[in-house]
Amino acid sequence: MALAKRHFDALIIGAGGAGLNAALQLANADARVAVVSKVFPTRSHTVAAQGGVNAALANVVPDSWHWHMFDTVKGSDYLGDQDAIEFMCREAIPTVYELEHNGVPFSRLDNGRIYQRAFGGQSQNFGGEQASRTCAAADRTGHAILHTLYQQNLRARTHFFDEYFAIELISDDEGAVLGALVMEIETGEPLLIEAKVTLLATGGCGQVFRTNSNAHINTGDGMAMALRAGVPLQDMEFFQFHPTGIHGKGMLISEAVRGEGGYLVNKDGERFMPRYAPHAKDLASRDVVSRAIVTEVKAGRGCGPRGDHVLLKADHLGEEVVAKRLPGIRESAIIFAGTDPAREPIPVYPTAHYVMGGIPTDRFGRVVIPARHGPEEAVPGLYAAGECACVSVHGANRLGGNSLLDILVFGRAAGLDIIGYLDANPNHRPLNSASVDAAMARFQRFEQPGEGIPVAELREEFQKVMEDHAGVYRTEAVMAEGVEKLKAIRERLDAVRLTDRSRVFNTARIEAFELANMIDVGMGIALSASQRKESRGAHSRPDYPERDDKNWLKHSLYFRDGDQLDYKPVRTRPLSVDSFPPKARTY
């Protein structure tokens, strides 16, 4: 049977905040845009974001995008690119207003303006008093934003391919991307979507770690597809462990709890954060708080019978604040931790949360790779935005509330840039049959009959190796062993066999594809981490405890082909203001 084909101006893979905000710009400009998502769009993980999105609206206390920029550069441990950061912090303001105009039900202040709460790492006046920069719809901001963007895309008549799984990018001999091979999950049938331009907006990869705050679907598919198309992944060693996951489960308890006045205590009931961050205390940057919790537990000051967690107190805030500002978190804590935060503290421990690294792009969302001569160049027809991309605005550590901002600003910027790209490239390039054949081979990859390793078994083993060897403790020996184990797991992937080989809604098959993707991405994380011999932001090495700006103020690039690493300079020059030079980072 001939392979079914569809043609669009733009193909967007991923229907989270990044994909949908890009799609909206394109659909509003009357481009033919297809959005492919492996789950129904409002099930995308953006829906889970609780706390809010940063923008210097100054609705509560004085604020400016320049202060926001300073905090973001400092939070990134100076690894963020300052041109992109300036762009994001400036664009934050119109982006949030646009969301509001589109219908997002933000919480409100008495004067009718958008409610903003305090979040970690935020300051006024370049490191002064705490700022209140995080725009919130109670503690369901991601839900409110994602549903609104989906609704606006319905209005704009975007083409949705719901429950279609993207298998592989299609490219030609010049490296230009021509679309993607996808699979309709309900029927198991392949479909080739040809597009003049393709945007990867596939979100994060938190599932590579065993204990994480991410959804089952966050498996790094887009990153792995990019890797296989010859694109490197940037800064993959920087993985954020959120300080307050529900102990033993990993579900997130948002920073909003501390933003509203909650704080952490150890087994002696001591509020310990002032010892680690005298000024910002519980609202220090996430890497700082996570390390403090781990240090407390290691020093024997953890809570519970096993002394393996700390407590997050919010009961002093009173019933009303908890009910009004943190209703969703309260419900989660009751269901998953069995505690009502309005009455008792919540047991918490750091959980794998967010990948700072990803597919390298410029601030227009164009995917860029090192060129043989001169600086980097854009891959024709390929864009990336959202958590799967690395612009890089988060550098070595992301601030709370800056990811929703990242996905929205750069999703929008990519959409707008694509409109220009389509003007300049009005025709489809000829299809490349070799690339289609390779993608089809991948599509058929898990169809061999016979006995083999079950997907679930290898997946579990892989996640454990990642947690033990590329998690919070990163010494030379531990990581080297991890890389070897990952190589062995990568080889055993070929021995994976499905017992279920039916076509219709075969979730085992999807999990096999996802596992293959996670292993590619996991290798990027482990290898990049093992090579970076310094401590910076979320990447913390007991054997190299200091930041080393002389040798390591640079981005790493991991190439799948031959497991190669390369490096490129950090862009320290902003667009219009003075650069923030690296300084010691204290909170």
Partner 1 sequence: MKFRVFRYNPDEDEQPYLQDFEVAAERGMMLRDALLQIKTQDEGFSFRHSCGEGVCGSDGVNVNGENKLACITPLAELKEPVVVRPFPGRPVIRDLVVDMSQFFQQYRAVQPWLIRKDPLPEHEILQSPEERERLDGLYECILCGCCSTSCPSFWWNPDRFHGPQALLTAWRFLADSRDQAADERLDELEGPYKLFRCHTIMSCVEACPKHLNPTRAIGNIKNLMLKKSI
Ligand X SMILES: Cc1cc2nc3c(=O)[nH]c(=O)nc-3n(C[C@H](O)[C@H](O)[C@H](O)COP(=O)(O)OP(=O)(O)OC[C@H]3O[C@@H](n4cnc5c(N)ncnc54)[C@H](O)[C@@H]3O)c2cc1C
Per-residue contact track with ligand X, 95 to 134, x per CB under 6 A? ----------------------------------------
239's enclosing H/E stretch is strand 239-246
User: In the set 34, 42, 45, 544, which binds ligand X (CB under 6 A)?
Assistant: 45
How far apart CA 245 and CA 253 sit, in angstroms, is 6
Q: Which stretch binds ligand X (CB under 6 A): 51-59, 189-197, 273-281, 339-347?
A: 51-59
Of the residues 298, 343, 503, 583, which one makes contact with partner 1 according to CB under 8 A: 503
Which are the contacts of 132, defined by CB distance < 8 A and separation ≥ 6?
A: 59, 60, 61, 63, 116, 117, 118, 122
Main-chain phi, psi angles of 395, to 5 degrees: 55, -125
End-to-end CA distance of the chain: 63
553, exposed or middle or buried, with CB in 10 Å at 0-12, 13-18, 19+?
Answer: middle
> Which option in ligand X, partner 1, none does residue 407 bind, with CB closer than 5 to 8 A by kind?
ligand X
User: What tokens does 531 get?
Assistant: 């090579």
**CA nearest 201: which of 437, 339, 13?**
13
How far are the Cα atoms of 89, 228, 358 from residue 85, in angstroms, in the given order?
A: 6, 28, 16
Number of chain positions touching ligand X (CB under 6 A): 47
Find which of partner 1, ligand X, none residue 37 binds, CB within 5 to 8 Å per kind.
ligand X
| Chain residues 355-394 in contact with ligand X, contact rule CB under 6 A | 386-388
Contact status: 213 vs ligand X (CB under 6 A): yes
Annotate each residue in 241-270 with x if it binds partner 1 (CB under 8 A) or - if it does not, as one string: ----------x-------------------
Considering the rule CB under 8 A, would residue 158 count as an interface residue with partner 1?
no
Closest CA to 362 of 379, 350, 341: 379
- Closer to ligand X by Cβ: residue 86 or 387: 387
Distance CA 447, CA 436 (A): 18
Of 64, 103, 176, 340, the residue at the interface with partner 1 (CB under 8 A) is 103
Instruction: For residue 438, count CB atoms less than 10 angstroms from its CB and return exposed for 0-12, middle for 13-18, buried for 19 or more.
Output: middle
Binding of residue 271 to partner 1 (CB under 8 A): no
State the amino acid at position 153 in one-letter form: N
Q: Does 286 participate in catalysis according to the annotation?
A: yes
Q: Considering only residues 459-488, where is the footprint of partner 1 by CB under 8 A?
A: none
Rule CB under 6 A: is residue 15 a binding residue for ligand X? yes
Q: Which is nearer to partner 1, 475 or 507 (CB)?
A: 507
DSSP-derived 3-state class of residue 379? strand
Which of 90, 286, 325, 532 is catalytic? The answer is: 286
Angstrom distances, CA of residue 371 to CA of 178, 302, 472: 20, 50, 34
- Structure tokens that stand for 470 in this block: 């590329």
Residue 498 contact among ligand X, partner 1, none, beta carbon within 5 to 8 Å by kind: partner 1
Note whether 264 binds ligand X by CB under 6 A: no
Residue 387 touches which of ligand X, partner 1, none (CB < 5 to 8 A by kind)?
ligand X
CB 390 within 8 Å of CB 361: yes
Q: Is 535 in the site for partner 1 (CB under 8 A)?
A: no
**x-or-dash pattern for partner 1, window 81-100, by CB under 8 A?**
---------------xx--x
Contact between 143 and ligand X by CB under 6 A: the answer reads no
Binding residues for ligand X, rule: CB under 6 A, are: 13-19, 36-39, 44-46, 48-53, 141-142, 165-166, 201-204, 213-214, 217-218, 221-222, 252, 254, 353-354, 386-388, 400-404, 407
Which residues are part of the catalytic machinery? Answer: 286
